[in-house]
């Protein structure tokens, strides 16, 4: 018989070791959680809004056999599932028990639900289908070390700098145009102590922006990059990427990650040219918002 419960701080060492072991295997890997034990130890208590109360463990005869973390927001009204990560011969039953327990913690208004997994994690695909998730377009996850940095090439007439308050509306409008329905709305791109937005300006005109974060584990994450269609091909995207690499390295990061649609060949070519390497293909699964 499998039993489930929220974890306590004293469970962290065992739970972190369990997650790190499974995350190292692409056929088990789920997104939103790191592969590195130190990073996972930081991530679990940072799950919003419940912290460790929102991290559910499954045990069978006293042995830890599964974990599922909840991380949700109300704008957009969405939960990002951190799992289920299961190591059990009754995989489906354990994953379902974790999911039932965690769903009962969600706010009653209903949330959109999202899973993000390695394309090789086939078992979770069956789990997602069973629970009414739809498969979305897959993304490539790319990474780059920040030991050697791409050189900063000037683009004539264009200045790149941190976003000023007066530029917020223009950035939000461009963000909405390029990434409607994204996990983070334009007005909140720099919400949080470690998030920042760079803008590319040609005079008073916004000709590009980049939103990034320095994560709890110290690594960088490039969240969004956009150049209006009328300004593309001039090197503004390249300049913004080079700037963020320098900025993150100066802040102490030694690596940057990003996610880009698998079929966004133009952007992938650009990142490849600037030294980003392929890490994995990730598949998002989404379940529309329903009132429980
Ligand atoms: C990807 C993007 C930021 C590139 O900006 P950019 O200022 O045109 O980039 P650069 O001028 O520095 O480099 C041009 C590169 O972008 C790629 N590119 C993608 N779309 C392009 C377009 N419409 N026009 C020109 N280049 C384009 C090309 O592959 C080109 O690389 P290449 O020189 O090796 O062929 C921009 O096309 C964009 O905003 N696209 C929509 C949003 C998006 O896909 N963002 C990236 C995912 S987070």
Task: Give the model's pLDDT for residue 183.
Answer: 81
- Among 155, 156, 198, 232, which residue has the most ligand 1 atoms within 8 Å of its CB, making it the best to mutate? 232
Cα(139) to centroid(ligand 1), Å: 16
* Residue whose CA is at the smallest distance from ligand 1 atom 8: 232
| 180 sits in which H/E element | none
| Residue 194 per-residue DSSP state | T
* Residue whose CA is at the smallest distance from ligand 1 atom 5: 237
| E strand segments, 45-157 | 55-60, 63-74, 77-86, 112-118, 134-135, 139-145
* Residue whose CA is at the smallest distance from ligand 1 atom 10: 235
Q: In this predicted model, what pLDDT tens digit does every residue of 20-36 receive, in sequence order?
A: 999 999 999 999 899 99
Task: Give the model's pLDDT for residue 103.
Answer: 95
Does ligand 1 lie within 6 Å of residue 68's CB atom? no
Average pLDDT of the segment spanning 67-74 = 95
- Among 140, 151, 181, 233, which residue has the most ligand 1 atoms within 8 Å of its CB, making it the best to mutate? 233
Residue scoring higher pLDDT (183 or 191): 191
Task: Give the model's pLDDT for residue 181.
Answer: 85
Could you tell me if 146 and 242 are in contact, meaning their C-beta atoms sit under 8 angstroms apart? no
CATH number of 148-253: 3.40.630.30
Assess whether the region 2-138 and the region 148-253 belong to the same CATH fold: yes
Task: Give the model's pLDDT for residue 269.
Answer: 97
Residue 9 has pLDDT above 90, yes or no: yes
Domain ranges of the chain: 2-138, 148-253
d(CA 214, CA 194): 5
The runs of H, that is alpha helices, within 167-225 are 168-178
Choose among 74, 133, 132: nearest CA to 108. 74
Residue 292 has pLDDT above 80, yes or no: no
Closest ligand 1 atom to 232 CA: 8
Task: Give the model's pLDDT for residue 226.
Answer: 98
Q: In this predicted model, what pLDDT tens digit does every residue of 38-68 receive, in sequence order?
A: 989 999 999 999 999 999 999 999 999 999 9
Q: What is the chain's Cα-based Rg?
A: 20
d(CA 182, CA 112): 12
Q: In this predicted model, what pLDDT tens digit does every residue of 90-130 receive, in sequence order?
A: 999 999 999 999 999 999 878 999 999 999 999 999 999 99
Report the percent of the chain where pLDDT is more than 90.
Answer: 91
Does ligand 1 lie within 6 Å of residue 102's CB atom? no
| Residue 289 per-residue DSSP state | -
- Among 270, 273, 282, which residue has the most ligand 1 atoms within 8 Å of its CB, making it the best to mutate? 270
Partners of 93 in beta bridges: none
Query: Is 10 exposed, middle or buried, given 0-12, 13-18 or 19+ CB atoms closer than 10 A?
Result: exposed
Does the CA dihedral 22-221-233-271 come out positive or negative? Answer: negative
pLDDT band at 12 (very low <50, low <70, confident <90, very high): very high
Pick the CATH number of 2-138 from 3.90.550.10, 3.40.630.30, 1.10.540.10, 3.30.1330.10: 3.40.630.30
Partners of 200 in beta bridges: 160, 208
Does ligand 1 lie within 6 Å of residue 150's CB atom? no
Q: In this predicted model, what pLDDT tens digit does every residue of 211-240 receive, in sequence order?
A: 999 987 889 999 999 999 999 999 999 999
d(CA 13, CA 208): 43
Could you tell me if 135 and 127 are in contact, meaning their C-beta atoms sit under 8 angstroms apart? no
């Amino acid at each position: 018989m499998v039993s489930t419960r929220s974890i306590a701080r004293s469970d962290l060492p065992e739970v972190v070791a369990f997650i790190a072991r499974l995350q190292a295997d692409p056929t088990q890997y789920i997104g939103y959680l790191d592969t590195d034990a130190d990073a996972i130890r930081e991530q679990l208590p940072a799950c919003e809004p419940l912290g460790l109360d929102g991290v559910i463990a499954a045990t069978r005869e006293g042995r830890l056999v599964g974990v599922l973390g909840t991380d949700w927001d109300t704008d957009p009204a969405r939960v990002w599932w951190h799992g289920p990560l299961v190591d059990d011969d009754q995989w489906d039953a354990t994953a379902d028990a974790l999911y039932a327990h965690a769903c009962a913690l969600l706010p009653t208004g209903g949330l959109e639900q999202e899973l993000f997994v390695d394309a090789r994690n086939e078992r979770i695909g069956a789990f997602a289908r069973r629970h009414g998730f739809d498969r979305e377009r897959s993304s490539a996850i790319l990474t780059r070390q920040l030991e050697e940095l791409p050189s900063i090439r000037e683009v004539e007439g264009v200045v790149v700098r941190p976003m000023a308050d007066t530029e917020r509306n223009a950035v939000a409008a461009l963000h909405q145009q390029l990434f409607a329905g994204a996990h983070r709305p334009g007005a909140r791109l720099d919400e949080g102590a470690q998030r920042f937005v760079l803008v590319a300006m040609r005079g008073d005109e916004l000709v590009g922006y980049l939103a990034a974060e320095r994560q709890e584990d110290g690594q960088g994450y490039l969240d969004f990059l956009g150049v209006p269609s009328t300004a593309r091909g001039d090197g503004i995207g390249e300049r913004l990427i080079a700037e963020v690499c320098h900025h993150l390295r100066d802040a102490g990061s030694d690596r940057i990650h990003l996610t880009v649609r698998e079929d966004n060949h133009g952007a992938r070519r650009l990142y490849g040219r600037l030294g980003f390497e392929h890490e994995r293909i990730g598949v998002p699964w989404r379940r529309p918002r329903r009132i429980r």
